[in-house]
Amino acid sequence: MAFEGLTGRLQGVFDKLRGKGKLTEEDVSEALREVRLALLEADVNFKVVKDFIAKVKERAVGQDVMKSFTPGMVVIDIVNKELTDLMGGTHTKLAKANKPPTVIMMVGLQGAGKTTTSGKLAKMLQKQNHKPLLVAGDIYRPAAIKQLQVLGEQLKVPVFSMGDQVSPVEIAKNGLQFAKDNNNDYVIVDTAGRLHIDETLMDELKNVREAVGPHETLLVVDAMTGQDAVNVAESFHKQLELTGVVLTKLDGDTRGGAALSVKAVTGCPIKFAAMGEKMDALEPFYPERMASRILG
């Protein structure tokens, strides 16, 4: 699980704080210095860490920590609250169209987990008694269409495909029409990724977006790639006005910094977290729960 290193480090800092009866200003400063280092080691963006520590300090001064009976606990509580805020504060729900179907466009680099996440999302919606349709719009990655079809069969979710010789724009448009004709209330459009961001990719994604007018444009990013994930999110957001981020591979041995930086850097809420390859390994992202998990 991601964050193990960070959790261990923070627990060490907090144990020290709790262990002391009275705290001096110096104790608190020392603790915050260690929190700062722990966050940097977890690959959290440098500027994000700086702002974070400044905010914690500000709150600590505001709450007059030293006058409290349990200053250590107050500091921990402040860190918890700031961590929650850093990740977006509250859970941001998936948008829902006033008039179905709700169109969700999945974007991201190749290998980030777009196709897998599309399947997971379909499963989640199906469990909530919706009738999702998966649209196979990744015509470039070999076997991406087949992969989606296999997932669809496994989940008993229909998959709309036109093969790989038709443009993604046509596929998306026709997929949307198919959903309307078949009463699917959610359409999940899997799109092509590339190994790196390039103009051709972005132009194509913009065209797909224009053609189907998605209610959600979700960027799927691999949390294992750390700061790169944050840079990718920034670029995609600039070009495509994302409505949310899905962080994948949080089950891996990552340092987790991407999860902590991505909202602060892009302003885009994290809507889901994926923690495994299986189809049920997708969770709505709750900043407060994630903060508690990180603090251990």
Q: Which residues 236-275 are close enough to bind ligand GDP by CB under 6 A?
A: 248-249, 251-252, 274-275
Strands 186-191 and 102-107: parallel
- Site mask, ligand GDP, residues 80-119, x = CB under 6 A? ----------------------------x-xxxxxxx---
Q: Please tell me what DSSP assigns to residue 112.
A: S
Shortest reach from residue 93's CB to ligand GDP, in Å: 21
- Site mask, ligand GDP, residues 206-225, x = CB under 6 A? --------------x-----
Shortest reach from residue 120's CB to ligand GDP, in Å: 8
Shortest reach from residue 128's CB to ligand GDP, in Å: 20
Looking at beta carbons only, is 1 or 37 nearer to ligand GDP? 1
CA-based nearest residue to 40, from 6, 86, 16, 12: 6
Phi, psi torsion values for 123, nearest 5 degrees: -65, -45
Strand partners, 107: 219
Shortest reach from residue 193's CB to ligand GDP, in Å: 5
∠ CA 191-285-116, nearest 5°, is 30
CA 145 vs. chain centroid, Å, equals 24
Interface with ligand GDP, residue 193, by CB under 6 A: yes
Looking at beta carbons only, is 74 or 258 nearer to ligand GDP? 258
Exposure string over 116-136, b if 16+ CB within 10 A, otherwise e: bbbbbbbbbbeeeebbbbbbb
List residues binding ligand GDP (CB under 6 A).
108, 110-116, 141, 193, 220, 248-249, 251-252, 274-277, 281
